[in-house]
Amino acid sequence: MSGAVDLSALKARADAAAGPQQSTGAGHARGGSNGAGQVVADVTEQGFQAEVVERSTQVPVVVDLWATWCEPCKELSPMLEKLAWEGGGTWVLAKVDVDANPRIAQVFGVQSLPTVVAIANGQPVEAFQGGQPEPQLRQWITALVDSQRDQLPGIRVAEQGGDGSGDTAAEPEDPRFTAAEQALEAGDYAVAEAAYQQILDAEPANEDAKAALSQVRFQARAEAVDSGAVTRADEQPDDVDAQLAAADVEIAEQRVERAFERLVATVGRLAGADRDRVRSHLVELFELFPADDSRVATARRSLARALY
């Protein structure tokens, strides 16, 4: 979807709707009152020019196209909001309800939901469709910000502690999560894992900590695996370590179904402690995805058949 997309029609409609006595309207903003600099905003056709096109000349704007009936959107949108807050104004999130704003969806040629489009300097530069696990979502956003740092001045302003986001009313943070996230950003996976585990020890029902712990463990494993893991696993189907490493690589490369199929097949070939180990690893990979992800549902059924 990157490349030239004509957004002028949306600007014309916004200007017409605003009328001579009204400036270009912003969407409903969250976390502040300054419409020009929100970290997260609900955007309409009338606010699109100001909140997306003009804002994207300073920092990347990630447009989340969603609908209330879209189940994957219910998992992806909160993750995007969380990451936008963590981004500290280096990028902003523009949420668009496509049912209420069909012309925006039409301009972007949306074919399925959720669809996420990154805008920089008024044009799409990156996009994806469907749900994503948080580790991959973080990587996508990091790559986006890195690629635009030298083109968009607001990124460095925000990174240097300026008010590039225009927002100083961030939600209060749990210091335990803050410490874990800081360790994760520094690449200290062991410290981050210990921090999340400590939260879980105190609050076994804390779903945020549970999900974060799975993500940290996955990121640590995936970064440690070399590129030849899949080849070795294919050549050595009975090597449990090789199969687990290959599945991690395939998840990181977005070959999700292949990773699940690999581990389900491995479970079917094994017994005893090795079988339990592979099953546990597969279940942990499931936790990286939304509960209603069709790929997870299919793999869970296959795993049940392999076990019983």
Just list the catalytic residues. Answer: 70, 73
Q: Which residue has the tokens 């929100």?
A: 38
How do the residues of the chain divide into helix, strand and coil, expressed in percent and rounded to 5?
55, 10, 35
Supply the DSSP string of 24-89, one letter for each residue: PPP-EEES-S-TTS-SEEE--HHHHIIIIIIGGGTS-EEEEEE-TT-HHHHHHHHHHHHHHHHHTT
Distance CA 40, CA 51 (A): 10
Cβ atoms 44, 53 nearer than 8 A: no
Determine contact, residues 51/37, Cβ cutoff 8 Å.
no
H or E element in which residue 174 lies: none
> How far is C-alpha 288 from the geometric centre of its chain's CA atoms?
11
* Burial group, residue 271, by CB count within 10 angstroms (0-12, 13-18, 19+): exposed
* Burial degree of 20 (CB within 10 A; 0-12, 13-18, 19+): exposed
Whole-number Å distance between alpha carbons of 291 and 75: 8
**Cα separation of 183 and 140, whole Å?**
19
Q: What is the biggest distance separating any 2 CA atoms in the chain, rounded to whole angstroms? A: 75
